[in-house]
Chain A
């Protein structure tokens, strides 16, 4: 069985170093990590490969640093890693991304049986690449999959969609996107990363190597254009209380206690202590 997993490197948003004095994030120090849902998709692929035998290819489009997540995937058990790295591919929306990934899959592993992706990325969270890649490759597909079983060439998958628990069946070749609900990723084996690095096994490809039409990739191939970016103005003119904690809290309750108290049917504006 021939499996291809699409991986994306994302910034470690939730683990950014953070200055507890100023309460600010040190964004400059943001490191990359494998997008969590991609990691679960890789785990699903590795388990299938273990059970069925075959070959697992990992594929990513991104800057040179994205090699890191591909080495990680090799250390975890992927057989082959490809990075699509080309300034012409930069600035791609999901339309261009799905086109590019499709060309790469067809160039690198045209006889694949199963394409696996994460259900969404933590940096864009559109979840559009999976469905659009399925269209581009014209494959039967299931999204947000939590559980899967393979019998012969037929996949049975389970997923939750808008309050329905669905069991779906589809034949290979197929495409699935995987959630972070199941397929808990295995630990990276000790020494595995060093070995993977030593083998120097990430193949770097550019847009021409995958036979892509340059009009359809990167920013050029994207439909959306950014008009402007802005920081939303804070709307309210509120009260700022800067005194000692106890004093501020008392002031809060004295000024707004009736509003709060009204909600819970209690008088909060006045202190009962000493009165009764």
Chain B
């Protein structure tokens, strides 16, 4: 894993920054481990939600995901997997594709972009107040998103990103990540499609002091 690097995530209990490995080149077999690690937490959360009678619309919308099913996709040439490992556990995973997706937004229309197929943080990191879950680490989704923007720049796509967000995540991608919503996509389970244009990516790089 020669492309790994050290990043920092935040421990919720004391707000401290903790070193973690950013793993580039996640392999299909890694996703089997991810699912094995996460399935127990998902099951516990589901039981708690049912026990406490939490309304279904307030359940985490990725509760039924299964990363094991995504493993074959990682063998595609255009697919890339990234993950964050801390304390020997996978804390978040992302899968991106560099083809055949192109931008739909304004001046970038038709230009290549990095499409984020999936991002998810480990269920142990989800704060779910209704069942008393506080989560262990935070900031992982943001780190992964930012890596996708960097990947887009490295591929020569100028930071252009596209993704379909789950409804609970729309505000994050529109407001915090400054992406533009481009409408619901019937071809993708009617999820809302977002894009980060070259210009928006440049503003993010400037805001982070990375030119």
Chain B associates with chain A: no
